[in-house]
Structure 1
Amino acid sequence: MKQFLHLWVPIFLSNSIIMLAGIFDMIFLSHYSPQHVAAMAVCLSIYSLLFVSGTGILQGMMQELAEAYGRRAFDDIQKILKQSILIVGVLSVFAGWLLTHADPLLHLLKADSALQALIQPCLWLLAWTLPAHLLVRILYILTQACGQAKRVFYANIFYLIFKVSLAYCLIFGIQGYVPAYGVEGAFIAHLTVQWALLVVYYLIFLEKQLRVHWSGQFFHFKTLLKILRIGLPSAIVVFIDVFTISAIALLILPLGEIMVNAHQVARGLAGLLFMVPFSMSSAFSILVSTRIGANQVQSAWALTFKALRVVVASAVVLAVLIAIFQKPIVALFSDHTDVLTVSLALMFLLCWMHIFDAILVISVNMLRCWKVVIFPMFIFSGVLLLGGLGGGWYLAYHPVSLFNLNLDVSGISGFWWMLAISYTFAALMCLLCLALKYRKHLQTA
């Protein structure tokens, strides 16, 4: 457990710091202009789909790095690092083109001319931010996979202080020195800090033996293929997860502002809760992959099942705490009476979903360690799109009559019912897949 805590605590704190930096931007802009808040929301919705797809592909890098570090193969670590840089280069060109040619999407979203005028320069800034953001992510993964997660935490403290200070100055301006840029200032700060962090982390925080050896062969097809075999299915899963939640936010617009705000409250709380099993799963997957790389297969399987127990137990504890203290917790997100009423009605479903979301994320991460990625991808994608999104939309807007059971239109709760059911089914199927993989191991051992 000491090794796990040594990894998990810095990873969890690092993820929390990154979320906190985004929250500060929203708080600053909410005191600047509601229109600028809307512009930031649209920009981040587009950017997040591209960024999480990139980080999903880089998950393949994490597994390969941890295994290579387990067998102390530093030449292989260099190959993995170089292929990851090539992947980021290709992704950045593609994403940059999309971000700088987003006019058709803005018209589809029916953004007015004033909002488009705010969004377009921000998307240009994000096009130049993404390469640095993904390259920093590579360095973080490299450091964490080699058991030095504390360095990432220290770097993120630097990031938070620099980012929040610069964003405040550029959003509101400094009289007589710096004009007020509003939402554009937030993204200028993001661009500046990401590139500064990339340079500072590489030169100061990263161990010299882990730095890129620029001489010699850079492209290695076999290593690239290994990363993509794990990374591409992971990217699809992450993309569909983010896409589904974003799509629900759009599909509930006809239900009115109260329902939309209640959904945002539940979504925000679910996101905060998810940071715990997500960071635990990242830490455990590094430890399991390291043992696999060191050819300690039985020890790796023992740690796999220990990871399941720890993550599920923590999820149950968190769900119980939310159920007990739901009123004061929800009140932190909103003070509107109607929004609070609807949000509280969703808390049971949120607690249910959190438990099985935790089971799902640890199961998928453990399966990824054992090179099983295609089945979880199809299960998660199919269930979430058809059940969570499609089924939720049907329940939200249509009455249901089935086996003498008559249900009225469910509204926002219809989406959350189907999300909870979808995550439950997907989690149980992935658990079954992990059990079958272990059974196959016992038969061949």
Structure 2
Amino acid sequence: MTQTLSAEVPFGASVRAIARQAWPVLISQWAGIAFGVLDTAMTGHASPDDLAAMSLSASVYITVFVGLMGVIHALIPILAQQFGGGRMGDVGAMWGQGVWLAIGLSVIGGALMLFPDAWLSMSGNVAPDVRARVASYLQALTLALPAALVFRTIYALGTAVSRPKLVMGINLIAVLFKALLNWLFIYGKLGLPAMGATGAGLSSAVVSWMSLGAGLWIVSHDKYYARFKLRVGRPDWAAQKELLRLGLPMGGSYLVEVCAFTFMALLVAREGTFVIGGHQIMSNLAALCYMMPMAIGIASASLTAQAIGAGRPMLAHRTGMAGLALGLLGAAFTACVLWTGKPLILRAYTDNAQVAAVAATLLQVIPLFHLCDAMQCINSYLLRAYKVAVVPLVLQVAALGLFGLGGGWLFGFGPARGHLDTLRTLLLPGSPVGAGSMWFMAMCGLGLSAALLHVWYRHIVRRSLAGTAAAR
């Protein structure tokens, strides 16, 4: 087995092992989120209506995609534990079942995206032109969904067996094609019609299928993956139940996290086009920053699951704590960059003065927001390494959904509108009442989620160590 599974690995070596696996995941995630950054920046320079349409429709797509992606990510701890236990044939068989699951989920997701009016009903009186562009953008992204979800099974495989550079390389190349196709489709270059936000969705569809083709070719030709005997075969209902038993609550946790941003976008739309644009910049930047703790969480969870599969609970615990320490250090560094680089960030996103003014008021809270986000992210991934997902889902629903999102609606748009203004003006001076209240309460919800998840993680670790001691 790999050196990282040695029981004698000290804490510092665990940190280094996580960092070695996390940096390709981080670059891969940054490359993936660059799709959204490119769409936001390039449609922002097309027109405010295109930016508003992209903001609303991207929120819908991300909600659907991330929720379904979370179900597929049940493959990561399952495959990692099989890999850690030396069950290579099981890895290949379970990966194939993940492909079947991704295909089935893409049908459900596509159906949800074809009815944008149901989503926009929460946004008040959206301009007809913006509404039409939202529908067109989502139709284009429906074509991307099957390829994107099946590609996530390749991502899960590479992560679980400590080979994250596979997806990193594909995603880096995909960003180049995405930028080129955005330029062609959004602005109508080389004789093509200018499609605005719809062009951004069409370019995502093309690049998603290209990435899937590259990923399937690599895993079928790389000698490293030959040991797993990767195969799709027929659907195995026992394996599907195992994936869904872990994947559904995992997908629910992912959905709770992203739904907060989705419904924030839909509610903030009531405050006008410029507030939508400013909120979108804030959301996009928060998602970009989230990639570092997410990468550390994924790396920590995969190595922790490998240690669990190999029957080394003390190493699993040490790896988890090393991941938390590394995540806290990375979050502090990111917060410093965000605080000092705000003017450059705004100029990169938009040249519209009114959109930039709104975004500037919201960005004042993002360093503290990111610290809370990072800690809740890593704790949730560590719990998934132990195949624990139901209780974390309940905790996140309470903290992020009821307290964070519900409180944001109450103080921003509900009967208590304006009652949070003292705190809002302290941390986000000059921000719109609705958007500012939503972001403040979202930050508080993340902090509560981080605390609750860490308490439960410590409980699971103690139970695991006690069970091992009793067995011995």
TM-score (norm 1): 0.87
Cα deviation, residue 16, structure 1: 0.9
1: distance between equivalents of 2:207 and 2:392? Answer: 36
Cα deviation, residue 99, structure 1: 2.7
Q: Which residue pairs with 1:290 in the alignment?
A: 306
1:44 aligns with 2:58: yes
Q: Which residue pairs with 1:62 in the alignment?
A: 76
2:212 aligned to 190, 198, 207, which one? 198
1: distance between equivalents of 2:356 and 2:110? Answer: 40
1: distance between equivalents of 2:116 and 2:93? Answer: 35
1:141 aligned to 153, 156, 163, which one? 156
2:166 aligned to 143, 146, 151, which one? 151
Is the CA contact 2:44–2:51 (under 8 Å) kept in the aligned structure 1? yes
Is the CA contact 1:88–1:131 (under 8 Å) kept in the aligned structure 2? yes
1: distance between equivalents of 2:374 and 2:423? Answer: 31
Q: Which residue pairs with 2:10 in the alignment?
A: none
Is the CA contact 1:395–1:409 (under 8 Å) kept in the aligned structure 2? no
1:213 aligns with 2:231: yes
2:446 aligned to 390, 406, 423, which one? 423
Q: Which moved more, 1:114-123 or 1:351-360?
A: 114-123
Change (3 A) 1:149 1:416: same
2: distance between equivalents of 1:264 and 1:180? Answer: 22
Change (3 A) 1:338 1:87: same
1:437 aligns with 2:437: no
Cα deviation, residue 345, structure 1: 5.4
Cα deviation, residue 5, structure 1: 2.8
Change (3 A) 1:316 1:73: same
Change (3 A) 1:300 1:255: same
Query: Which structure carries more relative contact order (alpha carbon 8 Å, separation 6+)?
Result: 2
2: distance between equivalents of 1:201 and 1:108? Answer: 38
Q: Helix, strand or coil: the match of 1:372?
A: coil
Cα deviation, residue 168, structure 1: 1.9
Q: Which amino acid in structure 2 is aligned with residue 232 of structure 1?
A: L
Q: How does 1:17-166 map to 2 (within 5 A)?
A: 17-105=31-119, 109=123, 110-111=125-126, 113-166=128-181
Is the CA contact 2:184–2:190 (under 8 Å) kept in the aligned structure 1? no
Is the CA contact 1:288–1:300 (under 8 Å) kept in the aligned structure 2? yes
Q: Which moved more, 1:328-337 or 1:157-166?
A: 328-337
Cα deviation, residue 276, structure 1: 1.0
Deviations 1:387-416 (A, max 9, x none): 112222233353788xxx995986244333
Q: Which moved more, 1:185-194 or 1:297-306?
A: 185-194
Q: Which residue pairs with 1:352 in the alignment?
A: 368
Change (3 A) 1:233 1:193: same
Change (3 A) 1:44 1:371: same
Is the CA contact 2:408–2:438 (under 8 Å) kept in the aligned structure 1? yes
Change (3 A) 1:361 1:441: same
Deviations 1:258-300 (A, max 9, x none): 6555444433332222111111101111111111112222111
2: distance between equivalents of 1:295 and 1:361? Answer: 25
Change (3 A) 1:263 1:301: same
Aligned residues: 439
2: distance between equivalents of 1:438 and 1:284? Answer: 14
2: distance between equivalents of 1:52 and 1:221? Answer: 24
Q: Which moved more, 1:1-10 or 1:11-20?
A: 1-10
Cα deviation, residue 247, structure 1: 1.6
Q: Helix, strand or coil: the match of 2:74?
A: helix
Q: Which residue pairs with 2:185 in the alignment?
A: 170
2: distance between equivalents of 1:399 and 1:144? Answer: 45
Deviations 1:225-250 (A, max 9, x none): 22222211111122122221222233
Is the CA contact 2:68–2:109 (under 8 Å) kept in the aligned structure 1? no
Q: Which amino acid in structure 2 is aligned with residue 426 of structure 1?
A: S
Q: Which residue pairs with 1:186 in the alignment?
A: 200
Cα deviation, residue 98, structure 1: 2.6
Change (3 A) 1:55 1:211: farther
Change (3 A) 1:315 1:90: same
Change (3 A) 1:68 1:391: same
Deviations 1:64-114 (A, max 9, x none): 011111122122112311221221122122222233344554566555554
2: distance between equivalents of 1:74 and 1:39? Answer: 46
1:371 aligns with 2:387: yes
Q: Which moved more, 1:166-175 or 1:238-247?
A: 166-175
Change (3 A) 1:33 1:59: same
Change (3 A) 1:172 1:248: closer
Q: How does 1:401-420 map to 2 (within 5 A)?
A: 411=433, 412-420=435-443
1:318 aligned to 324, 334, 345, which one? 334
The CA RMSD over aligned residues, in Å, is: 3.0
Structure 2: gaps spanning 5 or more residues: 1-14, 426-432
Q: Which amino acid in structure 2 is aligned with residue 18 of structure 1?
A: G
